[in-house]
Structure 1
Amino acid sequence: MLGARCEIVLNPDLKIGWVVLVNTTDFQFNRINDYIAGLVVPQYIEKPVTEPEKYVGTYTLEGGYDSLKIYLKDGRLYSTYLEKVLPDLPLSFSGSNSLKAVGYDGHAMEYQFTTGPGSAIKALTLNQLMWIKQ
């Protein structure tokens, strides 16, 4: 319709969207959409845990057959997982709620953490096994 425009923006990954309606034919939707996205999108993105202290604790293998500890030493995170086999090297951050360790023959092992309310660590997935934080 002459003199009116609209634009619909959807983000299926975050399951959010918005509609901008204007009563003009000359409007910069990009600017308003960037502004709205800057306000709305951060509210729906899971915030990564970057404080090492939040990872520290004992993690019990689902089913209760084994456990491992993640601890701080000299400001760096370490794990007791296969500590007699793997090199004694610190873990490093490798993404959102993810740590990386040096595994066999230099291959990386990924520690993927699951968070709950308030970004508290609930569980760890390591080598396709689920470890529950105690």
Structure 2
Amino acid sequence: MPETLLDAVSAVAREVGAMVHSRFRGEYRRWEKVPGHPVCDVDIEADAMLAERLTKLDPDAGWLSEETVDSAERLTRVRVWLVDPIDGTRDFLRGRDGWAVSIALAEGGRPLIGVLDAPARGQH
């Protein structure tokens, strides 16, 4: 069991990173949210995993993700999860290893925790 919130967030990043890495260079649906902003099924699946696991760690925190429609409700929260399920989607889609799962937790607009998991590069 993780000893600290940082340990718990790191474990989530590794778990989601492993799922994304298992799909790396595989087949999945891809499209553009708006011209020039690619996304794929793996982004959406990773976002759902992050939301489920991180909101269990801090259910009172708001949520801001590159893959989720923003909600003004998060502005009422003291803490906010800030995530990019596949930071470097273009590299992921092109089969390059320059992508990571990015997670941060901010409180009062200041960063508390920041974690990156880049399994294609072996960096955790």
TM-score, normalized by the shorter chain, greater than 0.5:
no
TM-score by length of structure 2 reads: 0.25
* Structure with higher RCO (Cα < 8 A, 6+ apart): 2
TM-score by length of structure 1 reads: 0.24
Higher helix share: 2
